[in-house]
Structure 1
């Protein structure tokens, strides 16, 4: 096994310089150096072009934010490449059929990146169940200290709706187990037996909007989900309900959502993502009292990014030991992934 060989396998980085610094701190870099040698300078996508150069001895490639498509002419430069560890979430920016055709194992740190998203979503779900943002706005506008309102659901026997039940949705569900709330899930690909195992109720998209006190969106952006959430869904929301989006802004038909929120000031939207980021300067989202915007901060930031580098290192250990890779991805999975 490689891990015990005198000559460690050779590896190379192929990602943005900033991403490398963010995802591999001192601990992660030290752990990686115990497994592989890194004899070559990191390849920076903005300055890299396929060439006749051949890295004959590179078995491991570490990718991340900024990595570009690993086309046949790129892979030809790495004839011994057998493992790609992606220190970020989605691999769609660089994944090609040639990777799998050549038998290359691919692992992603999407699970690690989902953790801060789930934590952020939980914080907002709890705050929104208490109508915290409404109280903030009242204090800002009128210095009114009002603890309660008739529509405030709280965290006891209220209903939380989750849109999609992938990595992030399941992590959010696990965190919600600490609360006494009912969880509804919309996910057309979720097996009912899996829903039962998690103790959630699988319902239609329309029912999630109609029954939930807070709706938290974790749907991947795919061609078939672009503009999925329309005015008709927001009009179904209960009085005082809140919509939280930490997924992608283009899942929402934004003009239709704005129209409903303007007509229904009892509703609230907490948007970490928008169709355009940031929204266009004249967007009503900036000034609506029932909307809060945050600048796409739910995902990994700062030291949180090192968790992704750490996950790649751990899967690399498993690869050398012949064990199952926690973050391994295969070609058919990409169809339903962001």
Structure 2
């Protein structure tokens, strides 16, 4: 199992209502990625968002900067909102990251849980599904060769034009990011793509039927079993004690989800009891000491029939940089313990 980190580069206020300057937040992020590389974590993902509380509107730019200060960690988007982007530019940008990093770039594509990018870039939400299907088809074809002929309904056609540069990796890795719909899991299986499942609450074992559906469809489609991968995007935090980890994560998580919940009509704010339920041994949150998190990693691996990568989002809201750095250091310890 590979262990990594995801970040949306949160820019929300702390408990005192203060924000660090944006340039300082980016500098802190570079230190966090460099430390993740140093402690041996497998991947660092940057999730695309176009909101005032996040700074990651351009994951490929951030990952290119990170490529120059790291040596071994995989650099991925988490996710790229492909529906509102152009597949040619996405391919070019990540091929460039791949060149800078000497073959460490990966793309996780999805439709996005937020919709700000659609009107921002001139796309109609009524084409939500069609945009993603068509653009994913084009992106996958661009991996195969530089000059392709392609025709779609919602993007202009290609008639043999060259798409450059080409990446170091012969086939630039593309994961399919999914939430909870069977159709999305089945799509990944049909296309033979690695699966990245977002589990941000509840109990991970409930996703087993959907992951088994992916595996079944994948094999029925004739794809090589050795290339089949299941990854998870989850929430968590590490500290010297379980209580310290929970006490640090809960208020920022509660504040962030209350904001999102108010936008989406989720009702009452999340309570500490609900948080602690998610942090329980069978819950979705990876919160606690390295031993506690290592035990949770082993649990989800068994409960879901084998997991190839788990990326933990350590900042569900702004946390002090020194706390995040400590959590990354501890996650390196947890990753070592979980893979023994």
Q: TM-score, normalised by structure 2?
A: 0.30
Radius of gyration: which is bigger?
1
Bigger fraction of residues in helix: 2
